[in-house]
Structure 1
Amino acid sequence: MAVTRVRRESWQGQVAWRKTYADGGHRRRIAALRWIARRLGANALLAPMPLSPELACRTEQAMINRLAALGANVPPVLAVGDRELLLGDLGPTLAVVCRAEPDDDKRSRLVQLGLDALADLHARGGYLSQAFARNLTVRDGCVGFIDLEEDPGTTMSLPAAQARDVLFYAHSTARFLCSQPGEHARLLKAHLERETPEVRTEVTRTASALCWISPVACLFGERARGVAQALSSLARATA
């Protein structure tokens, strides 16, 4: 699987990001995750196959072009190489903005903003690579999508790929609302009502398959507890 390195540059007086793709990654871990996903019947967690640096670079270009054609806010491609792209800047990530926001209600609105962006993208027939909060950006109330070097649509159906977005977003945002019991589940439940029945089915199936992890994860570190919080919210949202 290709790994990526990103460095900040200046391009025509503006911020740009040079993304370089290289050999590496965790092939055995991905193979294990694919095996587990199949055993659980969790289609939305079936990780895409590992890609060479060149193919990962071309995949990101294709994903950017596809999402741009759907009207999504994606970084402009400023320059292209076999193993690198120069991309425009879309602002800070949603994760960074949420971590810096001390107000509970404003954090909730930020999480809702990301859900609104996903709902709009899914309604247009789109999906992301990995819809973690670190791969969404926020600038002037507008959400953007970055880090698009894998295409889940190569290994799963459209509903599963869109369910994957919901699951990854839920996983990465639960910790921002831990001071507001029930708020994360409420937002997810409202969001799922905007998704298609097929997407809701995929999310429900996966949340059910993973429900046993929640009480175990609570016993470990902060990252594991974040997983437990996300699974608890998903269980309540899909009940």
Structure 2
Amino acid sequence: MARTWVERTTWQGQPAWRKTYEEGGHRRRIAALRWLARRLGANALLAPVPLTAERACRTEQSMINRLAALGARVPPLLQVGERELVLGDLGPTLAMACRAERDPAGRQALVLRGLQAIGDVHALGGYLSQAFARNLTVQAGAIGFIDLEEDPATTMSLAAAQARDLLFYAHSTARFLADQPGAHAALLRTHLQSVSAVVREEVARTAHALRWLVPLARPFGERARDVAEALGSLAAACR
């Protein structure tokens, strides 16, 4: 699996990001996760096959171009190399915006806005790489998508790739609504009513396969509690 390094830079006087791809990564961990996903029957959690640095760079270019053609907000490709891209800046991440937002209603609105933006991409037949809150951006109310070096459709169906987006987004946003019991599950439930039956089935299957983790994760650290919160929301949303 290629590793990436990102550093802030400028391009023609405007903020930009230089992203470099290198060989490395956690091949054994990815292999173990792929085995576990197969054992659980959770197609949406099947990690893409590890890529070389060059292929990861080309994949990100392809994903950016594909999403741009759908009208999604993605970083402009300012400079392209075999192992390096210079990308335009899309503003702070959704995770940063949620952490900075003190008003519970404001955080809920941000999480909903990201979910709607993902839904817009899905409605046009698209999907993302890893739809964590840290890989969505928000600027002047517009949601953007970054870190697109994986193509899930190389190892799973379109429905599974779209379900994967929803699962990753649920996992990464549950913590921001933890002070509003039931709010996160309600957002997911409403959204799942609008997706295709096959995507909803993929989400439900994965939530069901992982339901045993919820009581085990809650007593542990913050990250484990985040996982439990997200799984709890998904289970409630899929009822």
TM-score normalised by the chain length of structure 1: 1.00
Q: For 1:59 and 1:20, how far apart are their aligned partners in 2? A: 13
The answer for the alignment partner of 2:26 in structure 1 is 26
Residue 193 of structure 1: how far off its partner (Å): 1.0
Q: CA RMSD in A?
A: 0.4
The answer for the alignment partner of 1:38 in structure 2 is 38
Q: Are 1:175 and 2:175 matched, yes or no?
A: yes
- 1:35-184 equivalences under 5 Å are 35-184=35-184
How many correspondences in the alignment? 239
- Secondary structure of the structure 2 residue equivalent to 1:90: coil
Q: For 1:211 and 1:104, how far apart are their aligned partners in 2? A: 27
**Paired letter, 1:54:** E
**Paired letter, 1:153:** A
Residue 194 of structure 1: how far off its partner (Å): 1.4
Q: For 1:191 and 1:144, how far apart are their aligned partners in 2? A: 19
Residue 24 of structure 1: how far off its partner (Å): 0.9
The answer for the alignment partner of 1:10 in structure 2 is 10
For residues 64-91 of structure 1, give each alpha carbon's deviation from its aligned partner in whole angstroms, at most 9, with x where no partner exists. 0000011100000000011000000000
Residue 48 of structure 1: how far off its partner (Å): 0.0
The answer for the alignment partner of 1:193 in structure 2 is 193
Residue 219 of structure 1: how far off its partner (Å): 1.6
Residue 37 of structure 1: how far off its partner (Å): 0.2
**Paired letter, 2:159:** P
**Percent of aligned pairs with the same amino acid:** 72
- Secondary structure of the structure 1 residue equivalent to 2:10: strand
- Deviating beyond 4 angstroms after TM superposition, the runs of 4 or more aligned structure 1 residues are none
Q: For 1:82 and 1:120, how far apart are their aligned partners in 2? A: 31
**Unaligned stretches of 5+ in structure 2?**
none
Q: For 1:146 and 1:23, how far apart are their aligned partners in 2? A: 20
For residues 156-202 of structure 1, give each alpha carbon's deviation from its aligned partner in whole angstroms, at most 9, with x where no partner exists. 00000000000000000000000000000000001111111110000
**Paired letter, 1:235:** A
- Secondary structure of the structure 2 residue equivalent to 1:78: strand
Q: For 2:78 and 2:11, how far apart are their aligned partners in 1? A: 9
Q: Are 1:223 and 2:223 matched, yes or no?
A: yes
**Paired letter, 2:53:** P
The answer for the alignment partner of 1:238 in structure 2 is 238
Q: For 1:70 and 1:37, how far apart are their aligned partners in 2? A: 30
**Unaligned stretches of 5+ in structure 1?**
none
Q: For 2:5 and 2:217, how far apart are their aligned partners in 1? A: 30
**Paired letter, 2:236:** R
For residues 25-44 of structure 1, give each alpha carbon's deviation from its aligned partner in whole angstroms, at most 9, with x where no partner exists. 10000000000000000000
Residue 148 of structure 1: how far off its partner (Å): 0.1
